[in-house]
Amino acid sequence: MMNNFKQKLIRFMIGRYGMDEMYLGLFGVWFAITLVNAFVHSVFLNLLAFAALMWGLFRFLSRNHAKRRAENEKFLKLWRPVKNWLTFQRDRFRDRKTARYRKCKHCKAIVKLPNKKGKHTVRCPKCGERFDVRIL
């Protein structure tokens, strides 16, 4: 009995696309909306969360791998800058006692500086130009 079910499930899953970053993203969207909706109790948000979950499931079970991979590429193009920004915010918070982050005025690179109060001239490690910073 159990074996039969397992075989059916394996046969059902053959050729399915499965998980990718976009799947996890949709799952994250579902989770975030559900969390918010625990307080808001909106029918619209409930439907939106359900739609995100169903979209994830649809992609998971899809047999059109080429199309799903193309979707995932588009998703990553949008998601990467957001992820980088989040990572930067986390690092900035983690290092808040020991370091300050400043943007180089010449090449726009983010430079990590020791948290020493006052006015300093620093040299950008990326482009080598000097610029003034003020750390409060």
C-alpha torsion angle, residues 72, 75, 81, 84 (rounded to 10) = -50
- Among the listed ranges 17-25, 38-46, 78-86, 107-115, the one in contact with Zn ion (CB under 5 A) is 107-115
Closest to Zn ion by CB, 52 or 104 = 104
* Neighbour-count burial of 22, counting CB atoms closer than 10 A to its CB (0-12 exposed, 13-18 middle, 19+ buried): buried
How near is the Cβ of 128 to Zn ion at its closest, in Å? 7
How many residues can be counted in the chain? 136
CA pair distance 17, 63, nearest whole angstrom: 6
Using CB under 5 A as the binding criterion, the count of chain residues that bind Zn ion stands at 7
The single residue among 99, 122, 127, 135 that binds Zn ion, judged by CB under 5 A, is 127
Stretch that binds Zn ion, among 39-47, 62-70, 88-96, 108-116 (CB under 5 A): 108-116
Rank residues 15 and 125 by Cβ distance to Zn ion and give the closer one: 125
Which of 19, 47, 86, 107 is in the footprint of Zn ion by CB under 5 A?
A: 107
Beta strands in the chain (DSSP E): 99-103, 110-114, 118-123, 130-135
Q: How far is the CB of 81 from Zn ion (least distance, A)?
A: 20
From 89, 87, 90, 67, select the one nearest 79 (Cα to Cα).
Answer: 87
Q: Which residues bind Zn ion (CB under 5 A)?
A: 104, 106-107, 109, 124, 126-127
